[in-house]
Amino acid sequence: MSTTDPILSVRRLTVGFRTDLGAVTAVDDVSFDLAPGRTLAIVGESGCGKTVTSKAIMRLLPERTARIAPASEIILRDPELGPIDLAKASDSQMRDIRGSRIAMIFQEPMTSLNPVFRVGWQIEEALKYHTDLDARRRRERAIEMLRIVEIPSPEKRIDDYPHQMSGGMRQRVMIAIALCCEPAVLIADEPTTALDVTIQAQILELMAGLKQKLGTAIILITHNLGVVAQFCDEVMVMYAGRAIESAPIRDLFHHPRHPYTRALLDSIPKAGGRQHAKLPTIEGIVPSLYDLPKGCRFADRCAHRQDRCVAQEPTLDADASGRRVRCHFPLAQPRVAPSASARGGAA
């Protein structure tokens, strides 16, 4: 296997839910690759399918109501296990992989830690299932992990219960649990959204440092475009269950090709921007997944809408440079590539 092979390849991922109001497709035909050691951001607004995508990869969707379509493939190319299609893996295979080869951290560290067990026990639990370490070594490893995530006096804090820790420390414990088996892929679903900005900065820097040290590939799900700009290599933008654009980070920020991406970037207040100026907005709201339009899902909010957009949904097409955009009339790219995007690969 060459080093440029993606560690994770998702193809045609489609996830449907049965609900009281009928069937919905929350994630519709999503494909992407994640290279080793890289960070892919999945961005989009509430209900766009970003969390369902990550839970589908972890196979953590509720079995009774959710269904991954048979054509979906989630290929994990783990150096130790070889390629496995997680979409079709058995429950026992998934138990071996989850927490060991692919780990996940969630938005709310209080609800994802068990309140009745000490944090050390919760780190050791993962080691107990996935390694042959004996009890003494497991405890040593747990203390080491707490040290790695920069929790002060880890020998003492290892016997704390989650409620004795602050929100930032709890998220550090979550990261320690996620990384204790050195997974190849880490999925971070809004890991800093519930945290204050100074604590968010601590966690982001910690994750960036660990990524460098351990070479973990990361899928970072977020709606904070500042976090994307500072910490990610590639971006996939989702809208109403569809991937609508994916591109390297600089290309996306400098030359978004989908009108939604452009509008999303424009609608954030800029530091040092003109005060009290009107922000560019996207009129209207995201369409209901129960009642999706026939054409482009963004059409009724799009400033560049034409008749064809309403009549027919565009496909996700790659342009000459390999960027993918789902739009009949994508925004033009500059004819001369600016130096910024030429430097893209070096980052």
Partner 1 sequence: MTAVDSAAAKATAASAEPLLRVEGLVKHFPVRGGVLNAVRGHVHAVNGVSLAVYRGEVVGVVGESGCGKSTLGKLVIRLIEPTRGTITYAGQEITGLGHADLMPFRRKMQIIFQDPFSSLNPRLTVAGLLKEAVRFHRVVPPGEVDAYVSGLIAKVGLRTEARGKFPHEFSGGQRQRIGIARALATNPEFIVADEPVSALDVSIQAQVLNLMTDLKTDLGLTILFISHDLKVVEHFCDRVLVMYLGFVVEELPCARLHERAMHPYTRALLGANPIDDPDDRRPLTILKGDVPSPLTPPKGCPFAGRCPQVIDRCRSEMPPLENKSDGQRVACWAV
Tell which positions 188-247 bind partner 1, by CB under 8 A.
Answer: 196-202, 204-205, 223-231
Q: Which is nearer to partner 1, 90 or 275 (CB)?
A: 275
- Between CA 71 and CA 312 the distance in angstroms is 23
Q: Is 275 in the site for partner 1 (CB under 8 A)?
A: yes
Q: Which is nearer to partner 1, 99 or 168 (CB)?
A: 168
Facing residues of 84 across strands? 76
Q: How far is the CB of 41 from partner 1 (least distance, A)?
A: 11
Facing residues of 43 across strands? 222, 237
Q: Is 267 in the site for partner 1 (CB under 8 A)?
A: yes
Q: How far is the CB of 278 from partner 1 (least distance, A)?
A: 5
Q: Is 140 in the site for partner 1 (CB under 8 A)?
A: no
Q: Is 290 in the site for partner 1 (CB under 8 A)?
A: no
User: By CB neighbour count within 10 A (0-12 exposed, 13-18 middle, 19+ buried), where does 75 fall?
Assistant: middle
Q: Which amino acid, one-letter code, is at 194? A: A
Q: Is 92 in the site for partner 1 (CB under 8 A)?
A: no
- Between CA 40 and CA 33 the distance in angstroms is 9
Per-position b or e across 289-325, b if 16+ CB within 10 A of its CB: beebeebbbbbebbeebeeebeeebbebeeeeeebbb
- Between CA 138 and CA 167 the distance in angstroms is 25
Q: Is 82 in the site for partner 1 (CB under 8 A)?
A: no
Check the CA dihedral 330-334-337-341 and report its sign: negative
Q: Is 268 in the site for partner 1 (CB under 8 A)?
A: yes
* Runs of H (alpha helix) within the chain: 50-58, 91-97, 109-112, 119-130, 135-148, 154-157, 167-179, 197-214, 225-231, 249-254, 259-266, 307-311, 339-342
Q: How far is the CB of 224 from partner 1 (least distance, A)?
A: 7
Q: Is 279 in the site for partner 1 (CB under 8 A)?
A: yes
Q: Is 19 in the site for partner 1 (CB under 8 A)?
A: no
Q: Which is nearer to partner 1, 66 or 235 (CB)?
A: 235
Residues in the chain: 347
Q: Is 271 in the site for partner 1 (CB under 8 A)?
A: yes
Q: How far is the CB of 285 from partner 1 (least distance, A)?
A: 5
Which of 265, 292, 316, 337 touches partner 1 by CB under 8 A? Answer: 265
Q: Which is nearer to partner 1, 133 or 265 (CB)?
A: 265
Phi/psi for 158 (5° steps) reads: -60, -25
Q: In whole angstroms, how far apart are CA 191 and each of 158, 194, 334? A: 21, 8, 35
Q: Is 269 in the site for partner 1 (CB under 8 A)?
A: yes
User: By CB neighbour count within 10 A (0-12 exposed, 13-18 middle, 19+ buried), where does 40 fall?
Assistant: buried
Q: How far is the CB of 64 from partner 1 (least distance, A)?
A: 25
Q: Which is nearer to partner 1, 180 or 260 (CB)?
A: 260
Q: How far is the CB of 86 from partner 1 (least distance, A)?
A: 29
Q: How far is the CB of 307 from partner 1 (least distance, A)?
A: 24
Q: Is 23 in the site for partner 1 (CB under 8 A)?
A: no
SS3 of residue 297 by DSSP: coil
Q: How far is the CB of 23 from partner 1 (least distance, A)?
A: 22
Q: Residue numbers of the site for partner 1 (CB under 8 A)?
A: 45-46, 166, 168-169, 196-202, 204-205, 223-231, 249-250, 253, 263-265, 267-283, 285, 340, 347
